[in-house]
Structure 1
Amino acid sequence: MVRAGLCIGCGACVAGGNGRMAYDRYGQLQPQNAARPETFEHLCPFSPFAADEDAIAGARFAAAPQRDRKVGRFEATYVGHVAEGDYRAQGSSGGMVTWMAAELLSRRLVDGVAHVAATDPSPDGGFFGYRISRSLEELNAGAKSRYHPIELSGVIDAIRVEPGRYAVVGIPCFIKAVHLLRATDPVLAERIVFTLGLFCGHMKSLRMVESFAWQMGVPLEAVTSLDYRLKDPDRPANWYRAHLNLRDGGTAAQDWWHLADGDWGAGFFQNPACNFCDDVTAETADIAFGDAWVEPYASDGNGTNVVIARSPVLNDIVRDGIMQGRLALQPVDAEFVAATQAAGLRHRREGLAYRLTWRRRGIRPVKRVAPDRRGHTLRRKLIYRMRAGIAFWSHRVFWLAHRTGQPRLYIAWARAALRLYQALTYSRGRLGRFIDGLGLAGRDG
C-alpha cells in the first residue's frame, strides 16, 4: 500500500502494537516495523480488499430515509451555526463539531472524545495529535481546523485499554478506518459508539508548515504553535490567514493567497492517497460537518457549517438544539450540501474517474467511481494532470530545497507552478481561448 501511494497515514494498521507510525522524508506518516502486514488489506481505508463506504454506510444507516449519490445516506441536512456560547467564535467555521462533541459528553452518551488538538512541537516537526478529552474544558481546547498529518493508533490503543463509551472525530478516510477496526475488534465495536466526520479536501504533509514559515521569514524551530485559519469576522470566511506563534513571544501571519503554495485546489503537499479518494462528506460518519462554501455564507467571516445527520440519535440532538434556540440551523436538501462542496466533489468523482485510467504500478485501487477517460474536456484533463504533477513534485522539490538549505529554490518553483495552474484553471485569456478553441471547452474551477 505504501509503495503504491495508497497509504494515508491513519495508523489503523499499527494499532495494538503492530509497529509504529513515523514521518518519511516528505513529511508524510507511514507505518514502520509492522509485524503483521497481512492485516493491512482489511484495515487500510484505501485497500481494494476492504469494505467500501457504501457497504459500511449501508450496514450502519440501513434505515436512513434519504440517500444521495454525492452525500450518502442521511436523516436530515442543515446549514447554520451554533447560537449559544462562544463555540462559533472559537471554531474555524460555525462551531458545530465542538458543540456536538460537548453535547455527547454533557448528556453522558460518551465518556471521552478522541479528537485532534495542539501539542508541544515534536522533534520531527509535528504540532498536532489525537488525544481523548473527558471534560468540556479539554474538548474546547481542541477546536479549529488542522491541516496537518496525524494518526489514530495511540487513541485506538487507549480506547482498548480504558473501558467506556467513546466518540471519534476525523476526516472521511479516518472514520472509515475506525469502522474497519470495529469490524475486526469486538472491544472497539462496543466502545466506539459515535463517529463525527469532517468534510475533507485532501490531507497535507508536514512540510506545508515549514513552507509557510520560510515564506514568513522565520525558521520552523522558532514556531511554537500555529493557526491555519485565523478567524476574522470582518473578512470573508474563505479568506484563509495562517498565523504562527514564535518562541520569542512574537507572531508571524500571512494570507494564504500571498503564499506560493496557498491555493488549496492546486494540491501542494497533498498526500498521494488523496488522488484515490471518493468520499468528501464522511459518508460513514454518524454525523458530518463542513463549511458552507456558497453565498451568502462564504462571505460571513463568523463561519457557517453544513451538517449531515445520519444517526437518528444525533439528529434528535440537533433538532433539540434548534427547538431550544441553541443552534441557528435551517433545513436544506442534499443538492444544497453538494453545491457547498462542488469543487471537491468534482475532483473526487469526475477527476477520480480520469485518474483511474492512468497507468500505474503496484496495487490498483478499487473505487465506487468507474474509470473513464472520455467524459472530460481537454481543459479538465489538463487541470487534473497539473494538480497531480504539483502534488507529486512539491514534495520532491521541497525536499531538495530543505536538503540544500535553499528555500528560494522551492518557493520559485512553487510560484511558477501556481501561475501555470491558475492560468490553466481560471484564465479566459489567450490560453483559455486556445484550449476552448479546440472544440473541447467545458466547466472551469
Structure 2
Amino acid sequence: MKTFFNLIQEVQKPGLCHHCGGCVTFCTAINYGALELGEDGRPRYKDIEKCIECGLCYSICPEVGELNEETRRRAAWSAPMGRILETSVARAADPEVRAVATDGGVVTALLLHLFDLGRIDGAIVTRQTGPFQRQPWLATTREEILEAAGFHFDTSAGMSLFSEVYSTYSPSIVELEDVSRKHLNRVAFVGTPCQINALRRMEVLDIVPAGTIKFHLGLFCTGNFHFGPEQRRRLEEIGTFTWDEVRKVNIKEELMIHLHNGDIRCIPLDRLDFMKRYACRYCDDYAAEFADLSFGGIGAPEGWTTVIARSPLGRAVLADARGKGLEPFSHKDNPRLADLVLATVMTWSEKKKHYARHMHRELEKSVQVKG
C-alpha cells in the first residue's frame, strides 16, 4: 500500500502538488498529528511516527489516478467535459449581492437561497483577509456568506499593506475539520476543480466528514495565480498601471484589472505564466467537471455568470432559485447565448486539457532522461 511517503516522491517532488489540503484533512491519523500543512501550504509530515500508513492520503490526491474510474462512474462523467445537464446564464436578483460579488454573484445568491431554506447550515468559502490575501472560511450566517463574496482588492488601507502575498487559491478543504468540530450536517463547498475532485474521491471511500458536504459548487479555473511582490511589479509594467489605482481584479477570458477611474486593463492569460503555480500546468480540469454546479464569468456578458448544472441535484437547486435569488438572462435578448457560452467553456476546457497533456509528456521525457 502506498502512503504519504509515496505522495512526496510521486507528486510533491515533481511539483505536481496543488496544495488542496485533502491529504492532511482526511488522513485518519490527523487527530494524532501525523500530517500538517506547512507555512507554504504544502502538506508534510508533522510526526512520521504517528502515521498509521492507511494509504488514504495517497488515494484521494487529485494527481493520483487510483480512484479515477470509480470517481467518474459515481459522477456519471462523460467526455469531453463531464456530465452536462443544462447550461444557463444568470445573476443574483438582489442588487446588493451583485454589488459585492463577482460575475453576477450567482454563487453567493445560491448559498443564501440554500441557507434561507434551511438546506445548509454552513458553507465553506474563502474570504479576503488583506489586499492580496484570502483564506478558507466556514461561513455559518447570511452575513458571513456575504462577507466572503467577490474577488477584489481593497486598497483603502493604503499601499503599506500591499507587501502581503496574494493568491487566487485557498486550501478550503482544511475547513472540513471545523465542520466536524461544530457538528454541522449540511454544508455547501465552494472550490476549485482539484478540490472538488478530492472531495468526490472521499465520497467514493465514504470517509467522514465528506458525507456532510451536500452541495459541491465548482469554479472555472485556468490555474492559481500568485500575486507576490515581484509578480505585481511585472503586472504593473505589462498593464501600465499602479496598484494604488486598482479597484478590483477579475479573471475571465483575460485578467481584468479595474481602475478607480473606470478604465479596465485586460491582460491575456497566456502572458501570466510567470504568476501561475507550477502544478496547475499539469491539471486538465478547467470547468469543475465533478461539481453539482460549475460557475464562471467566461462567455457570459459583463455582470452575469455562466452556470453548468452537472448533477440532478445541481439542476434542481438552480431551478428552485430562479425567480427568487436568481435572475436568469432573458432568452429574448439572445436566444443562442446558452449554446454560445457552453462552446466558449468547452474551448477553454480543451485548451487546458491539451496543455496538461503536453506538460505530462514533457515530464515523462525528463524522467526517462534522468533514468
Q: Which TM class, normalised by the smaller chain length?
A: 0.7 to 0.9
What is the match of residue 95 of structure 1? 105
Deviation for aligned residue 1:119: 1.8
**Does the C-alpha gap of structure 1 residues 156 and 195 become closer, same or farther in structure 2, counting only changes over 3 Å?**
same
Distance 1:145 1:160 in 2: 28
TM-score by length of 1: 0.62
Q: Distance in 2 between matches of 1:215 and 1:205?
A: 11
Which AA in structure 1 matches 2:100? Q
Q: Does structure 1 conserve the Cα–Cα contact (< 8 Å) formed by 2:70 and 2:204?
A: no
Query: Alpha carbons of 1:270 and 1:325: their partners in 2 closer, same or farther (altered >3 Å)?
Result: closer
Identify the residue that residue 119 of structure 2 maps to in structure 1.
Answer: 109
Q: Secondary structure, in 3 states, of the residue corresponding to 1:48?
A: coil
Q: Which residue, 15, 30, 33 being the options, matches 1:5?
A: 15
- Does residue 179 of structure 2 align to residue 174 of structure 1? no
The one-letter amino acid paired with 2:309 is A
Please say if 1:44 is aligned against 2:65: no
Measured after TM superposition, the shift of residue 30 of structure 1 is: 1.2
- Distance in 2, matches of 1:103 and 1:279, equals 28
User: How far apart, in 2, do the equivalents of 1:350 and 1:41 lie?
Assistant: 26
For 1:336, what is the secondary structure of its paired residue? helix
Preserved CA contact (<8 Å) 1:229 1:241: yes
Asked whether the 8 Å contact 2:87–2:339 carries over to 1, the reply is no
The aligned residue for residue 311 of structure 1 is 311
Preserved contact between residue 74 and residue 308 of structure 1 (Cα < 8 Å): yes
1:138 equivalenced with 2:144 (yes/no): yes
Q: SS state of the match for residue 87, structure 2?
A: strand
* 8 Å CA contact 2:125, 2:172 repeated in 1: no
- Deviation at residue 80 of structure 1 after TM alignment: 2.8
| Residues 1:33 and 2:39 are matched in the alignment | no
Deviations 1:324-383 (A, max 9, x none): 584123687985344223553232223333333221339xxxxxxxxxxxxxxxxxxxxx
Structure 2: how far apart are the matches of 1:140 and 1:68? 34
Q: Is the 8 A contact 2:93 2:326 kept in 1?
A: yes
For 1:325 and 1:100, locate their aligned partners in 2 and report how far apart those are by CA, in whole Å. 7
Match for residue 148 of structure 1 among 160, 168, 172 = 168
Deviation at 1:292, TM superposition (A): 3.3
* SS, match of residue 137 in structure 2: strand
Measured in 2, the distance between the counterparts of 1:293 and 1:9 equals 28
Q: Secondary structure at the match of 2:102?
A: coil
Q: CA RMSD in A?
A: 3.5
Whether the 8 Å contact between 1:79 and 1:304 is mirrored in structure 2 is yes
Aligned to 2:74: 59
Structure 2 SS opposite 1:314: helix
Q: Could you tell me whether the CA contact under 8 Å between 1:338 and 1:345 is conserved in 2?
A: no
Q: What is the match of residue 264 of structure 1?
A: 269
The residue identity in structure 1 corresponding to 2:188 is A
Q: 1:82 aligns with which of 70, 74, 92?
A: 92
Aligned residues: 319
Q: Would you say 1:353 and 2:368 are equivalent positions?
A: no
Question: For 1:45-444, what aligned pairs fall within 5 Å after superposition?
Answer: 45-49=62-66, 51-52=67-68, 55-60=70-75, 62=76, 69-120=79-130, 127-145=133-151, 147-163=167-183, 164-184=185-205, 186-207=207-228, 211-212=231-232, 228-229=248-249, 240-241=256-257, 256-257=265-266, 262-266=267-271, 267-293=273-299, 297=301, 300=302, 303-324=303-324, 326-329=326-329, 336-341=340-345, 344-358=348-362, 359-361=365-367
TM-score, L = length of structure 2: 0.74
Task: Confirm or deny: 8 A CA contact 1:7 1:46 kept in the other structure.
Answer: yes
Which consecutive aligned stretches of 4+ in structure 1 deviate over 6 angstroms post-superposition? Answer: 251-254, 331-334
Q: C-alpha distance in 1, partners of 2:356/2:178? A: 36
Q: Using the alignment, how far apart are the partners of 2:99 and 2:344 within structure 1? A: 21
Structure 2 gaps, min length 5: 1-10, 153-166, 238-242
The 8 Å contact of residues 256 and 263 in structure 1, kept in 2 or not, is answered as no
Identity %: 24
Contact map agreement 1:195 1:287 (CA 8 A) in 2: yes
Runs (5+) with no aligned partner, structure 1: 218-222, 244-250, 363-445
> Greater Rg, structure 1 or structure 2?
1
Please list the CA deviations of residues 150-180 of structure 1 after superposition, one character each: whole Å capped at 9, or x if unmatched: 2135302112222221111001001111222
CA distance in 2, matches of 1:55, 1:334: 31
Displacement of 1:284 after TM fit?
A: 0.8
